[in-house]
Amino acid sequence: MTTTVSTALKENSRRALKGLAVFLSLIVYLAGLIYAGVRSYSLFARTVDPELLPLAVLGIIALEVSALALPLAIHYWTSPGAQRLAAMGFYGLDLALIVANAILDAAHHSGELLPGFLTAYGVYAVPALPVACMIGWALLWALDPSSREHDMVQAVRAATHEALMAQIAKAAESVDITQQVEAAAGEAARALVGETLGRAPRRASLPAYRYNAEAPTHKPEAMPTDDEHYFGEVPEIVEREAQAAPTHKPTRKAGRNGSTPDPKG
């Protein structure tokens, strides 16, 4: 398709008119929200205690901001399917609540007797408007594809872990682990005995000494309480006893003729 000067001018005019229409629609939309906000504030001022009114204004802000954010979410965020349908339903409910607040406030100012459904709405629905906005946005977040993908991954992981645990339990029933248990028990027993022996006091080994068989035997002195000191003194005590003991050689009687008698005779 060829583009001529005439078609280019028409396309530019069309874009300009479209931009103007969008701009004017935004002004109308914002004006409607401001009007509805004033009506909602007047309604809350009549039905809410003065000291709680600043907090009640947050409910009006929730309705107004939702009316601004939901069209953008429908066009640029929500995915086709359940999430977009939920967003459109939430948007319609939000606008209906805003309209109901304006009608109820106007009915209060007119002094006319309110119909039963408006009275019920003012008593039961108006206090719960912020909670309704919370529920709507929570539903949109739950229906987001990224949230559903995360839930699916977690579900698969949980199912895999459960199947693995079932297989481990089944394998444990058929595997003989007697040898492993005995080996582990033996290791634990050896570790316990080694720990017990490690806490026992260590004794010094006595050196080997040769005692003189002909030396008189003496009773050992009383052992000091300190084992290490006693065993260090043993060599000196033995050496002193060996030097102090007299050595005696047995002598034989000479015969009458001066010769040594024969032991056999």
Place of tokens 């119909």: 115
In a domain, 72, yes or no: yes
The answer on 19 and 139 residing in a single domain is: yes
pLDDT of residue 146: 86
The answer on 86 and 165 residing in a single domain is: no
In a domain, 238, yes or no: no
As a whole number of angstroms, the distance between CA 206 and CA 237 comes to 13
The answer on 72 and 190 residing in a single domain is: no
Burial of 242 per CB tally in 10 Å (0-12, 13-18, 19+): middle
The answer on 171 and 130 residing in a single domain is: no
The number of distinct structural domains making up the chain is 2
Per-residue pLDDT tens over the stretch 10-57: 777 888 888 889 899 999 999 999 999 998 888 888 878 888 888 888
Alpha helices in the chain (DSSP H): 5-47, 53-76, 82-110, 116-120, 129-142, 145-174, 178-199, 227-244
Which parts of the chain sit beneath pLDDT 50? 204, 206, 209, 211, 213, 226-231, 234, 248, 250-257, 259-260, 263-265
The answer on 99 and 124 residing in a single domain is: yes
pLDDT of residue 84: 93
pLDDT of residue 2: 62
In a domain, 205, yes or no: no
Domain, as residue range, for 48: 14-143
The answer on 163 and 84 residing in a single domain is: no
CA dist 128 to 62, 89, 263, Å? 11, 18, 135
Q: Which two tokens stand for residue 89?
A: 């339903």
The answer on 139 and 55 residing in a single domain is: yes
The answer on 138 and 19 residing in a single domain is: yes
Q: Which two tokens stand for residue 250?
A: 């047995």
The answer on 126 and 157 residing in a single domain is: no
pLDDT of residue 257: 47
CA dist 65 to 92, 210, 240, Å? 14, 109, 109
In a domain, 46, yes or no: yes
Q: Return the number of other C-beta atoms located less than 10 Å from residue 204's C-beta.
A: 11
As a whole number of angstroms, the distance between CA 237 and CA 16 comes to 123
In a domain, 219, yes or no: no
pLDDT of residue 263: 46
Torsions phi, psi for 158 (to 5 deg): -65, -40
Q: One-letter amino acid identity for 202? A: R
Number of residues assigned to the chain: 265
